[in-house]
A and B are shown apart, each in its own frame.
Chain A
Amino acid sequence: MKSLFWRIFVLAWLAMTVVGVGFSLLVAASYPTARMERRMQRMVMSFGIQGEEVLRVRVREGQAAAEALLHGISTDLEDNLWLIEDGTVQLSTEPAGEVSPMRKEALSFAAKATPEGFRDQLSDLERYAITLRGEGGNPSHWVLVGLNQRPSPVQRVLEREAQRLVLIVVVAGLLSLLLARYLSRPLLQLRAASGRIAQGDLSVRVTPALKGGSTEMMALGRDFDAMAERLEAILESQKRLLRDVSHELRSPLARMGVALELARQRAGEAAQSPLDRIERDALRLGALISEILQLTKLDAGDPGGVVEAMPVGEVADLVRGVAADVDFEANGKGRSVKLDIGELGNANLMARPELLRRAVENVLRNAARYAPEGSQVECKVVRTGDVFEITVRDHGTGVPPEALADIFRPFVRVQSARDRETGGAGIGLAIVDRAVKLHKGTVRAENSDGGGLEVVMRFPLAAA
């Protein structure tokens, strides 16, 4: 049982119950000693005095009267009594004519009698025997024996105390409950708050909720809030920086684009070719800025967009759309994209649609870029169990095995003259890597047998 609340509760309850019950039993069980003993002793002595009275009555008024008196005493005490002279029972509280099964017990116990009275308890049988004094106060041959069934002290304690013990257990339980609640509540609140921060909600603060708690807890709460505030501030300033950088980089490019067109309008034939190059590089710069900004946003933990549950059919549609676009673009350069979508069944992918689209687009465009002229890029969408897999394969030259993991790092390009031609800056796959991870998926690149690179993206699915 791992929960903090239950651990505190059970331990406290156990401790309180053991202490409470144990103490109670100890007290109750030890009560009979000393004082109890003295009281019992005095009681036995008083029996002796009463027994002597019975003897006197026997002498004065006869056997019957004495027996009546004995019965009177016994009824009071609820004891069985025997008056024994020299080993013979002369008077007893046995029912008329009957011999009690305890008589033998009484006779043998008589031997233990002393003038002060001897008392003991044999399990649940309480016994006492006292030597009676005769005329003139001298010890006589008479012994008074009393036997009674009484539960042992522990038993007696348990019976009498049973209610009290139950009460102790119940009260201990309630107190433990309150204690466990009191101790675990602030910790649970902190846990809930940090959970929300982990989910991305940085506006969470705990100080109001922890008000009235212990100084340590409140200090912890204040530290927690300070941490959250700093995180929030850092993230906000990063976002702002990104927005500003983005704006500052785009503005000159926009102006350049228009100035370029003006130059074209006014320049002669000879200038068109260099102007074309300027335009191409301006486009490259624009694309590069976009990609870098996107990558920075992803790394800063600001993926943008909302997570939604996309049915696998919709994801397939998304791939279809991107594949059609890339195919259109690639056709212009003598390449094509072939799409194969398998049986998908029903399930949902927790996705940020725009980001997912970007990732698929980057992988497909990358493949189209490295596919040799006249060849095909194959894209396969497959669902197995709770994994959604998108595989893109080209028939190009592939990538050296030692670089297969590196291509997902920013600005890494495989050594090849074609790179400069095709214009990739090496960021596209880095974006794919971040995007796929944000979808809790994996991406892997392998050289496919038959030549070419194969990029496999896997995403976990949730139930429909």
Chain B
Amino acid sequence: MAEYSLLLIDDDIELTELLTDYFKAEGFAVSAAHDGPSGLERALNEDFSLIVLDVMLPGFNGLEVLRRLRAQKKVPVLMLTARGDDIDRIVGLEIGADDYLPKPFNARELVARIRAVLRRTEDRAVATSEVQTLVVGDLELVPSSLGCRIQGEPVALTSAEFSLLEVLVKAAGKVVSREDLSEKVLGRRLSPYDRSLDVHVSNLRKKLTRGTTGSERIKTVRGTGYLYAVEAN
């Protein structure tokens, strides 16, 4: 199995040293950058399997790094956020981070999430070899390019949002449970107080226009999960 290479972008030098030791013991190759500009430069010019990005970088803000990175590369990104600061989390996922973990975090959990994101990315790479365009109503999904069109107009989705929409659309009209969604989209078991799914659904809803009947495309089914609404023609 090819070795995965991680880039850590965090201004806490001691922390990156500790993480480097830890990740190496877990079988990863690790590089570190300690400020926004140099982190961004390395991320753009070198190939990494995944980038761990601290949102609270001084000066050149972490979200800005994410924004500029996403403009050019689709490399998976895991955000480190401040616990209790919801805005950063929501905006980060919206810009295109694949997952987040609040500081202070459990190191084992960090590794687990990194592996989950990597697994998802690989699964996606495999899936795109079957170029099957999904069409439901006025919505068109192209897995190979993470492309999405509504009534012909392209809609930019992050990789996580695309996965979520894909799972719902494949089961269009039927409810998909939160547990299933967590496994298939986030690559991990649903844990209590985990709001990532809700944030992704909320961001997705903002990006998708209402259906031709004017109602929400993604409906919440109380106590169970979500479904993609199919319009009766």
Contact = CB atoms under 8 A, between A and B. Distances in A.
A262 B192 contact: no
B214 interface: no
Contacts of A261: 22, 107-108
Interface stretch (A243-251, A387-395, A455-463): A243-251
Given A262-B21, A265-B22, A325-B193, A250 B104 contact: yes
A255 B222 contact: no
A261 B24 CA distance: 13
B103 interface: yes
B25 A258 contact: no
A448 interface: no
Contact of B192 (A283, A329, A354): A329
A305 B193 contact: no
B86 A354 contact: yes
A33 to B, nearest CB: 86
A259 B223 contact: no
Nearest to A331: B192
Interface string A228-269: 000000000000000000110011011111111110010000
B100 to A, nearest CB: 14
A260 B14 contact: no
Interface string B1-39: 000000000001011001101100100000000000000
Contacts of B61: none
Contacts of B14: 255
A257 B192 contact: no
Interface in A249-307: 250-251, 253-262, 265, 282-283, 286, 290, 293-294, 305
Main secondary structure of the interface of A (DSSP, over half): helix
Contacts of A260: 107
Contacts of A182: none
B192 A325 contact: yes
A282 B107 contact: no
Nearest to A354: B86
Contacts of B15: 251, 254-255, 258
A137 to B, nearest CB: 114
Interface in A309-329: 317, 320, 324-326, 328-329
B174 interface: no
Contacts of A293: 84
Contact of B82 (A246, A283, A324): A246
Nearest to A297: B84
Contacts of B193: 325, 329, 361
Contacts of A259: 18
Interface string A321-350: 000111011000000000000000000000
Interface residues of A, number: 31
Nearest to A305: B86
A421 to B, nearest CB: 20
Interface in B57-111: 82-84, 86, 103-108
Contacts of A283: 106
A256 to B, nearest CB: 8
Interface in A410-427: none
B19 A258 contact: yes
A77 B220 CA distance: 101
A328 B192 contact: yes
Contacts of B176: none
Interface in B167-206: 192-193
B139 interface: no
A253 B104 contact: yes
B40 interface: no
B107 A250 contact: no
A265 B18 contact: no
Contact of B84 (A290, A328, A361): A290
A324 B145 CA distance: 37
Contacts of A329: 192-193
Given A325-B192, A326-B192, A257 B106 contact: yes
A362 B30 CA distance: 39
A432 to B, nearest CB: 15
B118 interface: no
B107 A290 contact: no
A334 to B, nearest CB: 16
Contacts of B223: 320, 324
Contact of B22 (A254, A262, A305): A262
B56 interface: yes
Nearest to B23: A258
Contact of B25 (A257, A262, A326): A262
Nearest to A322: B193
Contacts of B83: 250, 286, 290
Given A254-B15, A317-B220, 8 more contacts: A246-B82, A251-B15, A255-B14, A260-B107, A262-B18, A286-B104, A290-B83, A328-B192
12 contacts: A247-B56, A254-B12, A254-B103, A254-B105, A258-B15, A258-B107, A260-B107, A261-B107, A261-B108, A286-B83, A320-B223, A329-B193
7 interchain residue pairs of minimum CB distance: A325-B192, A253-B104, A261-B107, A258-B18, A254-B104, A328-B192, A258-B107
Interface of A: 246-247, 250-251, 253-262, 265, 282-283, 286, 290, 293-294, 305, 317, 320, 324-326, 328-329, 354, 361
